[in-house]
Structure formats: structure tokens, C-alpha cells
Amino acid sequence: MTILTIKTTPYGDQKPGTSGLRKRVTVYQQPNYVENYIQAIFDSLEGFEGQTLVIGGDGRFYNDVAIQKAIRIAAANGFGKVLVGQGGLLSTPAASHVIRHYKAFGGLVLSASHNPGGPEGDFGIKYNISNGGPAPEKITDAVYARTKVIDSYKSIDAGDIDLNTIGTQTVGGMVVEVIDPVADYAALMETLFDFPAIKAMFASGFRMTFDAMSAVTGPYAHKILEEILGAPKGTVINGTPSPSFNDGHPDPNLVYCKDMHDLLMTPEGPDFGAASDGDGDRNLIIGKNRFVTPSDSLALLAANAHLAPGYKAGIAGIARSMPTSAAADRVAEKLGIEMHETPTGWKFFGNLLDAGRVTICGEESAGTGSSHVREKDGLWAVLLWLNIIAVRKQSVDQIVREHWATYGRNYYTRHDYEEVDAAIANKLVDDLRAELPKLAGRNLGDDLQVAYADDFTYHDPVDGSTSAKQGIRIGFTDGSRIVVRLSGTGTVGATLRLYLERYEAADGRHDLETQSALDSLIGVADELTGIKQRTGRQEPSVIT
Ligand code: VG1
Ligand code: CO
């Protein structure tokens, strides 16, 4: 085999965001764009000679092209083996599991998650380390620094690998094994949940609908829900992965899953509805007549996890991203376990999970997961919900209401202003940051008093690292909170995220409509940030 060293010139924009490098497909299609980035990743790692690399993606447009390049570059750089999902597919949680299960050195996860796909859509590459989780900032910073000076990459002179046939091939001295993308993951789920109880529930007429959004979760959901657990055929909809997600937007929220939501609000609708995103790590949970906010879902799953066999000994602790509501904090308090608040993005949970300090983690952006892998996991959350419903024999609505009656309710919403001019968005955040020292103690709106106002800095209790400027938070004495931050996953302009939360005690009113419950806080947030006036937008692009 001849290893080729190919000259290249750096790109200035290969800075990984919240979850890897996400760009328009047209950006990735530039000469050597993929090659530079993958070589920069390998240049930032040590000790992978002869080791295994996992490669898989969500099946979006350009997945196949990037995987072939990645395989050649991995071979030239000295990896001993590549494990790749059949058809190039691996959901993000499945990739995390495969890395752990086969003790791989790391993995490349090719996805832009919930962003649209197709030739005009987005693509992404993320590197995961040997614990199965996204590389920490120390590595992503090194990769970015490397991309700015890279002048060559290594590849081999070899043709494409057949990704459709399960089995082993060799390319340039490196073994490439094409594996079933679903089997190992399905086996893991079976160890965590009470499959017989869920199976019995389906057999007795429980009905659900699962929208795979023409993304990667289709094959996983067909196998686990319909084949293994016996849910009727047709339970899984949009179950065939499509490179363009059938021209849809694979973001499981109330905007893109409105039809399912509306169906669940009718008497004829099924008992339970769920969906997952492009790469299968997010989840949407809707019961009959009850949408469950992701923040509430995290709290509920943590409070009830012991009902599933995999967690029957209890959970060690909970972690949530800073903008996620404090509903889970009340559960941790009651259980007397550790509670951690981390910056946005799953990479910050890895150390806590590895150290055994937390078992369940979650984000307000529809991501929940546990120590079984090091990524959030959409289908895992759905199965844990099903397990809880099967054991408690109650509806989602009853379970949620009982939770609020015990812990109180955290009314919660997120308002996104997408594709805002980056200069305007940055100035808004800078101006607000400058105001923070003056805010403490001030009275705002009708009855809100500021308890604290700061820009969130995280101190990792495990490795001692510090991550600053992780979002502005303004907390009020009654437990309400306003958080403002800029998205790190968008590919066009800036996305401003405004997170709003208000706590209503256990004996308070739990039946208000969310937006009206948060009305006065929304007004105060607009006054503080000037978001409407500065962006010229009358309303958010997306409300979740
Ligand atoms: C968003 C979410 C964050 C999530 C990230 C990756 O990031 O807010 O909670 O971890 O997406 O999820 P940002 O920086 O745009 O707010 V996924 O499913 O896109 O891999
Ligand atoms: Co995702």
C-alpha cells in the first residue's frame, strides 16, 4: 500500500461548535474540506496506531462520500481497524455504544443532528473519545488550532469500500468491518428495561406512534418497538432513513411534529406519541392530552428510573445543562443525591458519568440519557417512559400531574430567534453582559426581584477545567429565571435562544397554559434584552 501525503491549505472556519463541526453541505464539498478536518482530528490525538475507529452517521446527504474519505485517511494514519455501520448508518447513541462495547479508540459521528439535510442542507463531523462521548473542549480546541495551520493530509490510493454488505474487508492493510447498526444497541436496551412488561402492555392494546422523521432511528424503532416488543406494524412512521429526511426538518418539537401532537390531543389518538431527531439522540414525548416538556421529562425519568431493571438500585446523581429547568433539582434533593449544572452540550456530562457521580443527564433541547452510553439517547428515553407506564399502569397525564403535585411545576419555554444577523446578536449579548452587575437586587416587572445575574462559568469538579461565557442567567427571588445564549449548532447567521422558567409550588396552580403562565417574564426578558426591537422580529421563529 502506498501512503500518499497530499498538500492542502487551511480553512479558517473549522471551529467545532456545541456538537462538532456543522456546516452547509456546499461548504463541506470544497476541495479537501473533509480531509483537512479529519486529518486535524487525528493530528490532535496520540496512541491510535493499530487501534479501532468507529465510523457512522445519520444517513444524510454526503454521509457516503465523507465515510469513504474517512476510511482512507484512517488507514493512511495507521488505525488497525474501522468498524462502520451497514449503509454507513449508526445513530449517535448507537455509535457511542459501539465505541464502548468494542473498546475502540474513538469514533467519527457524521451528522448535523436536527438540521435539514440534502444538497442544500447541513452536514457535520464530530469526534468521540474512547468513553463513547463527544471529545472534551481540550481536544476540540486543539483540533481547531490544527485546522488553521494544516498543510497536508494522509490518504491511500484505494477504491471505495462496499458499505452495504456485513462482513470484513481490508483496505491498505487496515481491516474494515461492516456491522449491523442495530443489533448491539438493541441488546443493550434489553438489559436496561423490562421488555416483558412493555410487551405485555402492547399485547393488551396500548397504542403508540413513533415518528422517526425519515432519519436514522427508523431501523432501530422498527426492530425494537415492532419486532421485539410486539407493537403493531405501523406504530413506527417515517421509518426509512432518507438522505434529505424526505425534505423534512428532523427536529422533534411541537413545530415539526405538530400533526402528531394534534392527534394525541384527540380521543381517537393513541396513548403515547414519541419522535426522535436526525441522528437519534433527541426525543419528544407526548401522552394523550399531555405534552411533556423535556425538562419535566428529565425530572420524571430520574424520579421513576428505579422502576426499570437497569436502574433498580437507584441513581447516583443527576446532571442538567444550565438552561434546563430546575425541575430535576427538586428530585435530586428529595432523593438525597448529587445534582450538577453544566454548560449546554453533552460533552460536559462525560466526566461526571465516567466518575460515577451521575446516572441520568438531560437538556431542555429534548435530550435525555444515562450512563449506559455517553450521548443523549432518544429511543432510550422512549423505552424508559414505556417501562414506567407499564409498571405504574397510569397515563402519561396522570404521572405528570402526580409529579407536579409532589414537587411543584416549573413552567418552562424556549424562544428561538433564528438566522439573526450575527453582529446584532453578538451586540445584544455583549450589552446585556455589561448590564449584569447593575441588576442584582433590582425589581423588574410587577413583582420580580433579581436574586443574581451572571454569565455562567462551569468548573468541572472531576478534571478541574473551567468553561466561561456559557450563557447569561438572571435569577429571581421566586425561583423564576431568564437565560440568554447564542446557539453553537446553527450554520447561518446567529440563533438567539431565550429560556424562561417560573416555579409554581406543589400546592399551586398547575393547569395554566405555558406561554400565559410565563407572560410577565417574557415581557421582562424583552425589556432587558431589547430582542424584538434589535432583531426587528415581532416573534420568535420557534417556540418550544
Ligand atoms: C443545541 C442544544 C443543545 C444540544 C446541541 C446538540 O445546541 O441547545 O442542548 O446539546 O444542540 O444536540 P445549541 O448550541 O444550538 O443551543 V444535537 O441533537 O443537535 O446533536
Ligand atoms: Co441530535
Looking up cell 447513541, which residue turns up?
93
Q: Residue 126 CA: which ligand 1 atom is closest? A: 20
* Parallel, antiparallel or unpaired: strands 360-363 and 317-321: parallel
Element (H, E) at 65: helix 63-77
| Whole-number pLDDT of residue 524 | 92
Q: How far is the CA of 57 from the centre of ligand 2 (A)?
A: 11
| Whole-number pLDDT of residue 3 | 92
Indicate if 113 belongs to the active site: yes
Nearest-CA residue for atom 13 of ligand 1: 487
Phi, psi of 322 (to 5 degrees): -55, -45
Q: Residue 281 CA: which ligand 1 atom is closest? A: 18
Q: Residue 366 CA: which ligand 1 atom is closest? A: 9
Catalytic annotation, pick one of 19, 91, 113, 371:
113
Mutate to test the pocket of ligand 1, among 123, 213, 279, 489 (most ligand atoms within 8 A of CB): 489
* 218 close to 239: Cβ distance less than 8 angstroms: yes
DSSP state of 253: S
| Whole-number pLDDT of residue 235 | 97
Looking up cell 418552562, which residue turns up?
412
Q: How far is the CA of 330 from the centre of ligand 1 (A)?
A: 24
Residues of the chain with pLDDT under 50: none
Largest interatomic CA distance in the chain: 73
Q: Where are the domains of the chain?
A: 3-181, 185-407, 409-543
* 499 close to 514: Cβ distance less than 8 angstroms: no
Q: Give this prediction's pTM.
A: 0.94
Q: Residue 277 CA: which ligand 1 atom is closest? A: 18
Nearest-CA residue for atom 2 of ligand 1: 365
Q: How far is the CA of 25 from the centre of ligand 1 (A)?
A: 19
* 383 close to 192: Cβ distance less than 8 angstroms: yes
pLDDT digits (tens, 9 = 90+) for 99-152: 999 999 999 999 999 999 999 999 999 999 999 999 999 999 999 999 999 999
Question: Which CATH number describes the domain made up of 185-407?
Answer: 3.40.120.10
Distance of CA 67 to CAs 59, 98, 109, Å? 10, 17, 10
DSSP state of 66: H
Q: Which residues line ion ligand 2, judged by CB < 5 Å?
A: 113, 277, 279, 281-282
Tell me which ligand sits closest to the C-alpha of residue 277. Answer: 2
Tell me which ligand sits closest to the C-alpha of residue 217. Answer: 2
pLDDT digits (tens, 9 = 90+) for 10-49: 999 999 988 899 999 999 999 999 999 999 999 999 999 9
| Whole-number pLDDT of residue 386 | 98
Distance of CA 68 to CAs 34, 145, 185, 396, Å? 11, 25, 24, 44
* 60 close to 278: Cβ distance less than 8 angstroms: yes
* Class of the CATH-defined domain 3-181: alpha beta
Distance CA 200, CA 198 (A): 5
| Whole-number pLDDT of residue 445 | 84
Q: How far is the CA of 145 from the centre of ligand 1 (A)?
A: 23
| Whole-number pLDDT of residue 488 | 81
What residues have CB less than 8 Å from 343, skipping those under 6 apart?
321, 322, 456, 458, 467, 470, 471
| Whole-number pLDDT of residue 274 | 98
| Whole-number pLDDT of residue 59 | 95
Q: How far is the CA of 418 from the centre of ligand 1 (A)?
A: 14
What residues have CB less than 8 Å from 463, skipping those under 6 apart?
136, 351
For residue 339, what is its C-alpha cell?
Answer: 445534582
Q: Which fold has domain 409-543?
A: TATA-Binding Protein (3.30.310)
Q: How far is the CA of 120 from the centre of ligand 1 (A)?
A: 21
* Cα-based angle 104, 25, 469 (whole degrees, multiple of 5): 70
* 374 close to 348: Cβ distance less than 8 angstroms: no
DSSP state of 222: I
**What is the CB < 6 Å shell around ligand 1?**
18-19, 113-114, 277, 281-282, 321, 344-346, 363, 365, 367, 487-489, 497
In 3D space, the residue among 296, 306, 341, 303 whose CA is nearest the CA of residue 322 turns out to be 341
Domains 3-181 and 185-407 share a fold: yes
Neighbours of 309 (CB within 10 A): 15
What residues have CB less than 8 Å from 414, skipping those under 6 apart?
323, 364, 365, 497, 498, 499, 500, 543, 544
- Single-letter code of the amino acid located at 445: G
| Whole-number pLDDT of residue 2 | 86
